[in-house]
Amino acid sequence: MDIYKPLIALLAIVNPIGVIPFFIHFTQGFSREQRQRTIRVAAFSAFVVIAVSALAGLKIIEFFGISLASFQVGGGLLLLTSALQMLNAQPAESRKDDLTEGSDKADAGASIAIVPLTIPLLTGPATISTMVIYADKTRHWWQLAVLVGYGVVIGIAVWVAFSLSGRIGKVLGKTGINVMTRLMGLILAALAIEVMSDGLVKLFPVLAGAVR
């Protein structure tokens, strides 16, 4: 397993900078203490989703009787869909109905740190798929520990991005954030094709000879 690919994929999918406009929107009217608490909960929740996916994701798909090769192809398609959304400057995991639900929960006084900020804006099906696929490629316990460690890195990245949301928003502006999202989407698209091709070769070994 290329030890750096999972981190690159996670940074591209999670893309905390691209979620900053939503963070600013959903925390309008919050006090400084409320905003800081939202940041902490969102960062920790992102770590939990990634860590659980790495440690238990394989067991979950085995429970449902899904082959990893099929999961790779499906996950790759999901990554590619996320990448295409990002190339259109949309968050990788966003859905309009989820955002509406998040707004309603915020209006009702419930925390929006988990829904919609962490799920689905920061982490979601594409993130979980990525962690399960890379967890299967680990051969030593320390490699699995590295994946969990990447969850810590992502949590810190979310905390830093949201903490600096005001400054980042002013410096980059809407155009700058859109450009960043598109660049991350391009990287993610390349990774998605690689994941899909690996799964297809496992499902149809004859493709390996065709590729050569």
Report the C-alpha gap between 203 and 160 in whole angstroms: 41
Let me know if residue 14 belongs to a domain: yes
Let me know if residue 196 belongs to a domain: yes
Give the least confident one: 4-13, 30-39, 94-103, 116-125. 94-103
Which residue shows structure tokens 């979620």?
19
Residue 110 confidence (pLDDT): 37
Let me know if residue 100 belongs to a domain: yes
Let me know if residue 210 belongs to a domain: no
SS3 content of the chain, % helix, strand, coil (to 5): 85, 0, 15
Q: What's the DSSP call for residue 120? A: I
Which of 164, 139, 143 lies closest to 16 in space, CA to CA? 164
Give the least confident one: 42-46, 109-113, 202-206. 109-113
Residue 109 confidence (pLDDT): 30
Residues contacting 113, CB < 8 A, separation 6+: 37, 38, 39, 40, 41, 42, 45
pTM: 0.74
* Domain around 195: 5-205
Let me know if residue 200 belongs to a domain: yes
Could you give the number of structural domains in the chain?
A: 1
Report the C-alpha gap between 186 and 79 in whole angstroms: 11
Let me know if residue 86 belongs to a domain: yes
Which of 120, 124, 146, 119 lies closest to 135 in space, CA to CA? 146
